Amino acid sequence: MTSGVVAARRTLPRIALRPRLRRRELGLLLVVAAALVVGSLSLGATQRTLAAHLNGDTKPVPLLGLANPGLLAIYLGALALAHTVLTVAGRRTDQILLPTVGLLGGISLLLMERLPQTLAGGLGGLAQTQLVWLLLSLGLITTLAVAVRNDAWLRRYKYTWAAVGVGLLALVLVLGHTVNGQRLGIAVGPFTAQPSELLKVILVIFLAGYLSENQPLLVEESTRLGPIRLPPLPYLAPMVAMWAMALGIVVIERDLGAALLFFLVFLLLLYVATARVSYVALGLVAAAVGGFLVYSLLGYVRTRVDIWLNPFADPNGAGYQVVQALHAFARGGLIGTGLGNGLPLIGGNLPIPALHTDFPFAALGEELGLVGILAILGLYLVVIERGLRIAASAPDEFRAILAAGLSLVVGVQAFIILAGNLKLIPLTGITLPFISYGGSSLLANGLVVGLLIALSDRGAELPPPTPRRGNRLRRLVDRGAA
């Protein structure tokens, strides 16, 4: 029977195409298309009205007209193509993720269309560049969703993935150039790649492999620390390693957001794998200790925290961006100003310089209001719910932890930056998944969604049998049965 599984894997390249209608996806995509068309109409009407007002025209403005029909058509076409490809491939995969992510991406496109086009982007402006990245991201999602039928390449080489991750970190250290005091990017030709975005996916893959393999040992309670029962001490090593890595990212790369993201996702996955609250508690204590250390030792962390505690102390200096973001939320009120009608330009400049990367939520808060923001929070919750449900129905531990990790990495990242925007936690410079401008973020999150859709396949190839390969450490600790 084992040989049969191997044989099935060998025949993998021959994918039998049995088209299967995806009615739910189609229905939801139609709603997405309707939303984006209405949004574009709203933006277009507002932009024409404002332009006429600025030019002093008093003639009535034609109201019905899309803001940027070309970009919208290309984007909707790409969504339709992705849907068609998934339909033709005929896998029984999730039908909700693509429309949800498609709507978030479409909102991002509308936002980029209404921002000053000179803000960033080498391909003829902000919106056009963002569209290219969105298309590549959709392509990645579709490719992964169709082609990934087997997870051995993820499962088997977890230490290789870990090595790649460490390599990426080292690459940033050596080649990374500093933006706003953060060492985030690696310049690749005209583009700047943010390896931390890719790193988060690699981290989840590694953690899924590591935790699923060592799960039985992690739930052992061989060590007692007062009233706390801990697993065998060697198995605390990954926690210590993660803690050290997070600290290292904060100290060396000055990337508070990524460190927070990695550590939180790690803790949550540890809980998923072991269901041990004591781990989470221990992790939070470790995080608190680490947080105190970096707060007292690192000036930039202290500045961040001080700005967070009282941004209004220096509203035109250190606290400027945070205060202006809060003002943007306040201006939005309940129903917002309408797309294209907010974000007052001062001398031709946006009130928040890093709007397209760090504060898109503040922009949406102003233009769509509380009502719109709640809808967007809902969209992220849908992505999380889908991911966790895919995890819950996964056939084995590895896939479950992988799916959970992939959805958590999106959900937690969204939470960190949104909470930072809203002054609930100190601001960190990470991107808002699917909405922030930038290729690294869109591609990494496309990778996440593509894998999630692939993992959701009900008819997917079975996970390989429980590994027989000996693990010396495991044998040492393991108490034999019989």
Find, among 402, 472, 397, the residue nearest to 234 by Cα: 472
Tokens for 467, please give them.
């590994």
CB of 449 to another protein, least distance (A): 15
SS3 of 229, please?
A: strand
CB of 28 to another protein, least distance (A): 6
Instruction: Name the residue nearer to another protein (CB basis): 190 or 468.
Output: 468
H or E element, residue 230: strand 228-230
Instruction: Name the residue nearer to another protein (CB basis): 253 or 262.
Output: 262
Instruction: Name the residue nearer to another protein (CB basis): 83 or 331.
Output: 331
Burial call 174-183: b when 16+ CB within 10 Å, e when fewer: eebeeeeebb
CB of 42 to another protein, least distance (A): 4
Instruction: Name the residue nearer to another protein (CB basis): 94 or 197.
Output: 94
**Residue 152 zone, left/alpha/beta (φ > 0; ψ -120 to 50; rest):** alpha
Instruction: Name the residue nearer to another protein (CB basis): 184 or 211.
Output: 211
Instruction: Name the residue nearer to another protein (CB basis): 74 or 422.
Output: 422
- Phi, psi dihedrals of residue 176, rounded to the nearest 5°: -60, 140
Instruction: Name the residue nearer to another protein (CB basis): 193 or 364.
Output: 364
Instruction: Name the residue nearer to another protein (CB basis): 248 or 378.
Output: 378
CB of 299 to another protein, least distance (A): 26
**Residue 434 zone, left/alpha/beta (φ > 0; ψ -120 to 50; rest):** left
Q: How far from 304 is each of 354, 412, 455, CA to CA, in Å?
A: 16, 20, 39
Tokens for 358, please give them.
């760090």
CB of 371 to another protein, least distance (A): 5
**Distance between CA 85 and CA 67 in Å, rounded?**
28
Instruction: Name the residue nearer to another protein (CB basis): 192 or 464.
Output: 464
CB of 241 to another protein, least distance (A): 22
Listed in order, strand segments (DSSP E) in 309-408 are none
CB of 179 to another protein, least distance (A): 24
CB of 456 to another protein, least distance (A): 12
Instruction: Name the residue nearer to another protein (CB basis): 195 or 369.
Output: 369
H or E element, residue 228: strand 228-230
Is 283:296 a contact under the CB 8 Å cutoff? no
Cβ burial, residue 335 (10 Å; 0-12/13-18/19+): exposed
Question: C-alpha angle 199/306/261, rounded to 5°?
Answer: 15
**Distance between CA 123 and CA 194 in Å, rounded?**
19
Is 292:305 a contact under the CB 8 Å cutoff? no
Gyration radius of the chain's alpha carbons: 24
Instruction: Name the residue nearer to another protein (CB basis): 193 or 265.
Output: 265
CB of 265 to another protein, least distance (A): 10
CB of 190 to another protein, least distance (A): 27
- Phi, psi dihedrals of residue 324, rounded to the nearest 5°: -65, -35
Amino acid at 323: V
What is the signed CA dihedral for 178, 440, 109, 126, rounded to 10 degrees? 40
CB of 337 to another protein, least distance (A): 8
Q: HSE (CB half, 13 Å, CA atoms) of 230?
A: 15
CB of 189 to another protein, least distance (A): 32
Show Cβ contacts of residue 147 under 8 Å, excluding neighbours closer than 6 positions.
15, 454
Instruction: Name the residue nearer to another protein (CB basis): 83 or 423.
Output: 423
**Distance between CA 285 and CA 292 in Å, rounded?**
10
Question: C-alpha angle 227/228/229, rounded to 5°?
Answer: 120
